[in-house]
Structure 1
Amino acid sequence: MGELQGKVALITGASSGLGERFAEILSAEGAAVALAARRTDRLAALAERVTKAGGTAVTVKMDVTDIPGIQAAVAEVEQKLGKIDILLNNSGVSAQGKLLDVTPDDYDFTMNTNTKGAFFVAQAVARGMVARKIEGRIINIASLAGLRVLSQLSVYCMSKAAVVHMTRAMAMEWARYGINTNAICPGYIETEINRDHWQTEGGKKLMQMLPRRRVGDVQDLDGLIKLLASPGSRFINGAIITADDGMSAF
C-alpha cells in the first residue's frame, strides 16, 4: 500500500506531459485520481491505463479560464470520489514573442490560464479542505521561468512569477487550516509538446547551454511529487523548489 492510500487527488492539465505523469505517480502511491483537462478524449485513455494498473480514476472536463466551470468540476470530483486531499495545480500554456509584439489576446491567453486559473482552482479546492478540516496538500507547478527571465517568454515568466508569490501567500494564509501549499519550478523537461524542438538547431544550441547539456524527463519530478503529496511533507509549507538540474544556479 502506498502512502496515499485512501486519499483523493485532483490533477489539472492531466491530458498530456507532466500532468499525465503526475496522475500515474499519485495513483501508484494509492490515491484515487481525478483527471481534469479541456481535452477529455485524452483523459479517457489515461483513466483506462490507471484502472488497468489497479488504480481508481475519474475524468472531469475543466477549462481553468472558466471560473464557474472550475467550481462545477470540483463539485463533480467530490461527488464521484469524495473529499479532495491533494491538488496538483498543473494547467499551463505559453505564448512566445517579443514584448513589443505582445497583443492583449496573447497576454490574456497566458495570464488567464497560468495565474488566474491556477488561483481559482486552488481557491475552490481549499474551500472544501477548510470546510472538511482536511490536512490538505496543494502543489502548484510554477517554472524556472518564474525565477528568471527567459528570452521571448516574458509574459510566461510573469505568469509563473505570480504563481511563485501566490504559493507563498496561500501557504501563509492557509497553514492555520492544516493546508500545505508548495510550488515546484521545473527547468527544461522534454514532453510530447516540445520533443521536436530539441532536435532543431535552436533546441540543440539551447541544450548546450545547460549545466549537463541535457534536458529532463517527466520522471525526474517523481520524487518531489511523492514527497509534497505525502504525510511526510507536514513541515514543508511555502517552499519554492527548483528541479532544473542546476540551471538556476547560473
Structure 2
Amino acid sequence: MKAAALFDLSGETALVTGASSGLGARFAQVLAANGASVALVARRRERLKTLCEAIVANGGTAMAIEADVTDRAAMMRAFDDVQRAYGTPTIVVNNAGAAQSVRALEMSEEEWRRVLSLDLDSVFFWSQEAARRMIAGGAKGSIVNTASVLSFGVSKGVAAYAVAKAGVVQLTKALSLELAFKGVRVNAIAPGWFVTDINRNFLESDKGQAMKRAIPMGRFGAEGDLDGALLLLASKAGAYITGTTVVVDGGQVVALA
C-alpha cells in the first residue's frame, strides 16, 4: 500500500479538544488536510471560528464547538453536535490542558484540583464517552492523548502538571488494555518543548534558551514536528498500535535518563 493511502483519513470524523490555538489548532488542521471532517472544541469561540474558516478555505471540513472540557454536560452536547453533523467520531484527540508553574509549598488546593481536572480528569471522561460512542456505532476508532516529556521527568514548579501528564500515560495504557478487543485504539503523544502562546515568553527568555541548549537536537519543536506521530496514531498506518506513548522531544527524555 502506498503511504498516501495508509495515512488517508477520508470518511473519518475527528474531534480535537483544546483546538483554538497551539498544538490543538495544528492537530485539527493536519487531520482536516488529510481528509477527516473535524470538530474543533475549545472555550474561545472567535478563535475557533477563525480556524474553521481557514480549514474550509483550504478545502477541508470543520465545525466549531464552544465547550469547557471539565463540564460534563458540555461534553455530551459536543459529542451530540458532532454526531449529528458528521456521524460517530472515529478519531478523538484529547489535547486540552493547562500549564502550571507554582512551587509545591505555595500551591493551593484549588490550583492542584484545577490542573488535575483539566489535564487528567477530562482526558478520562472524553475518552470514556468517545469509546462508548464508537462501540455503540460499531466503528473502529482511535483516541490520541497529549502527554508530555514531564510524564517521565520533573523540574521545579510543575508538580501538578507532571503528575497529571504521568497519569495520562498510565491512563492511555489502562484504556488501551480494556478497549483493544472492542476495536478502539488508545495512544498518546508526549511532546517536548514546543513554542506556543502558553509558553512563548518563557521559552524565549534566557532561561528558556539555556533549556534549548540542553536538548540533544539543539532546538525546540517546530510546527509540523508532531504531524507524523499524529497521523501514525490516527490512521490505518497505526492499525496495530495501541497503549503506546510516542515521545517527540528532540532527545530530551534520553538526555534525562
The TM-score range, normalised by the shorter chain, is: over 0.9
Contact 1:95 1:156 in 2 (8 A): yes
Instruction: Show the 5 A alignment for 1:223-234.
Output: 223-234=228-239
Aligned to 2:169: 164
User: What's the TM-score once normalised by structure 1's chain length?
Assistant: 0.97
Q: Secondary structure of 2:63's partner?
A: strand
Which residue identity lines up with residue 75 of structure 1 in the other structure? D
Whole-angstrom distance in 2 between the partners of 1:59 and 1:198: 30
Give 1:190's aligned residue: 195
Distance 2:217 2:248 in 1: 14
Gaps of 5+ in 1: none
Quick one: which of 49, 53, 60 aligns to 2:54? 49
In the alignment, which residue of structure 2 is the partner of 1:33? 38
- 2:16 is matched with 11
- Provide the C-alpha distance between the structure 2 equivalents of 1:117 and 1:55, rounded to a whole number of angstroms: 27
Structural mapping, 1:73-84, within 5 Å: 73-84=78-89
Letter in 2 for 1:188: W
Aligned pairs (5 A) from 1:86-165: 86-165=91-170
State the number of aligned residues. 250
Other structure's SS at 1:241 match:
strand
* 8 Å contact from structure 1 (residues 35, 59) kept in 2: yes
Equivalent residue number for residue 206 of structure 1: 211
- Contact kept, 8 Å, 2:40 with 2:65, in 1: the verdict is yes
Structure 1 distance, partners of 2:88, 2:217, is 42
Query: Alpha-carbon deviation of 1:205?
Result: 1.8
Q: Give SS of 1:236's match.
A: coil
Look up the SS of the partner of 1:218 in the other structure. coil
CA deviation after TM superposition for structure 1 residue 213, in Å: 2.4
4+ residue runs over 6 A deviation? none
Cα distance in 1, alignment partners of residues 171 and 37 from structure 2: 27
Tell me the distance in 2 between the aligned counterparts of 1:177 and 1:212: 39
TM-score for both structures, normalised by structure 2: 0.94
C-alpha distance after superposition, 1:160-179 (max 9, x if no partner):
01110000011000011101
Using the alignment, how far apart are the partners of 1:111 and 1:155 within structure 2?
7
